[in-house]
Amino acid sequence: MQVFTKMTRMKERIIYIRGLGVIGWPLAGLLLSLKNLLPDLKITIEPYKISTENIYHIEHLSRLGAILVETEENRVSRWTQFPLVVSEFQIRKSCEIVLDCSPSGVAEKRITEYTKENYPNCKAFIAQGSEHKFGKQLLFPDNTSIIENTQDRYFHISTCNTHTLSAILRIFNSIPVKISNVDFVIIRRDADMAKNDPHVTGPLFQFPEGIHGTHHARLLNELYATVNRSYAVTSSAMTVNSPYMHITRFRLELENEISREEILKSINNDPLLSLTSQISSNIIFSSGRERGEFGRIYSHAVFVAPSLEVNGNIVRGIAATPGDSNVLISTIYSTLKILGHERINDVMLDLYKKVLKNI
């Protein structure tokens, strides 16, 4: 085992990923798969703890070139499988971006830790999911323009469901029509199959928290408020005992009539949206495991074509949310944009190729 005492060359830029769960693990893998385009980036990963249950996943990332960060909790250097190890103290002093992929609530508790004194070279701290105290939401391409010319250093990537809801709205960006009202019903899958959590035994209902319904509508408008946009959105939600995918049933009322063909064309033209003729979420999910890089689907939403109904100015349909993997491209774009990386366009074109457009 080689324990790093100095972080290689000065030109190398350090990305510090904290947490290797359902988001952190594929995020690290996806960044490592881009090393031909991003040879100057060093990907460092901090597992909370190492056990016989996760060591082979972590070892896989190590073989791809990830550098393990040792903390008092994980004691990485005790494991002989990892050739490259760096101390937590050292990585704090040298990293340029922190990507906190810890479980919900952890990043918010670390805000007081994420200071210029502790991280003197860090340009931004980016959390994942429902970390609403952790700065503004980021979702590519809808509002990442707010990164430019900003002094903000704290951001969080929108949740997987927010990515899908915004994808449904984005269909109409390229069509000259105005949205009057939107209603979403989010049917949430229970714990991700990668988590060791008990499953619910039957449907659980999520009750309204305000005039717009569940938090999903509120989060969507919080996202668009960053770019001075708003929508008349309502939402409701329930959780079912499935480990596969969230499902969103949508209903949009438009000011003008539209054709089904226009919607399908718009979905096809968006590099981050997918179409399927499947009517079973487990088949859609399985396609990612079989054909997706690191077994994931990276599109923001998978639209179920047979469900799409257009009746004059009313549009109804169903879209599946690809687990927590649909947030990863937003995370990588935001990271490279904050770094001002010169290869950002090349990277995005490469990431688009990893999206399964047809499932």
28-80 pLDDT per residue, tens: 999 999 999 999 999 999 999 898 888 999 999 999 999 999 999 999 988 88
First to last CA, the chain: 42
CA angle 253, 299, 29 (to 5 degrees): 155
- pTM, 2 dp: 0.92
Backbone conformation region of residue 346, classed left if phi is above 0, alpha if psi is from -120 to 50, else beta:
alpha
Give the pairing type, strands 314-321 and 246-254: antiparallel
Give the pairing type, strands 309-311 and 246-254: unpaired
d(CA 221, CA 166) in angstroms, rounded, equals: 10
What does the pLDDT read at residue 201? Answer: 67
Q: How confident is the model at residue 269 (pLDDT cuts 50, 70, 90)?
A: very high
Cβ partners under 8 Å of residue 46, min gap 6: 16, 17, 18, 19, 20, 68, 69, 71, 74, 88, 91
Range scoring the smallest mean pLDDT among 70-74, 216-220, 273-277, 284-288: 284-288
d(CA 144, CA 137) in angstroms, rounded, equals: 9
Take residue 151 and report the two structure tokens written for it: 């002094």
d(CA 246, CA 317) in angstroms, rounded, equals: 14
Could you tell me the sign of the dihedral formed by the alpha carbons of 159, 280, 182, 237, in that order?
Answer: negative
d(CA 344, CA 148) in angstroms, rounded, equals: 14
Backbone conformation region of residue 8, classed left if phi is above 0, alpha if psi is from -120 to 50, else beta:
left
Give the pairing type, strands 2-3 and 84-87: parallel
DSSP 38: -
Topology of the domain covering 160-326: Dihydrodipicolinate Reductase; domain 2 (3.30.360)
CA angle 85, 17, 70 (to 5 degrees): 30
Q: How confident is the model at residue 2 (pLDDT cuts 50, 70, 90)?
A: very low
d(CA 322, CA 289) in angstroms, rounded, equals: 11
CATH 3.40.50.720 at 2-158+327-353, yes or no: yes
Range scoring the smallest mean pLDDT among 75-84, 97-106, 265-274: 75-84
Range scoring the smallest mean pLDDT among 1-5, 7-11, 28-32: 1-5
Question: How far is Cα of residue 17 from the mean position of the Cα atoms in its chain?
Answer: 14
pLDDT at 6 over 50: no
What does the pLDDT read at residue 195? Answer: 64
Q: How confident is the model at residue 9 (pLDDT cuts 50, 70, 90)?
A: very low
pLDDT tens string 115-130? 999 999 999 999 997 7
Peptide bond into 141 cis (omega under 30): yes
What does the pLDDT read at residue 173? Answer: 93
Share of the chain above pLDDT 70, in %: 94
Residue type, 72: E
What does the pLDDT read at residue 241? Answer: 83
Q: Kindly list the domain boundaries of the chain, sorted by start residue.
A: 2-158+327-353, 160-326
Question: Which residue did the predictor score with more confidence, 199 or 6?
Answer: 199
Average pLDDT over residues 267-276: 97
DSSP 132: T
- Phi/psi at 98 (5° precision): -105, 125
pLDDT tens string 197-225? 666 767 777 888 888 899 999 999 999 99
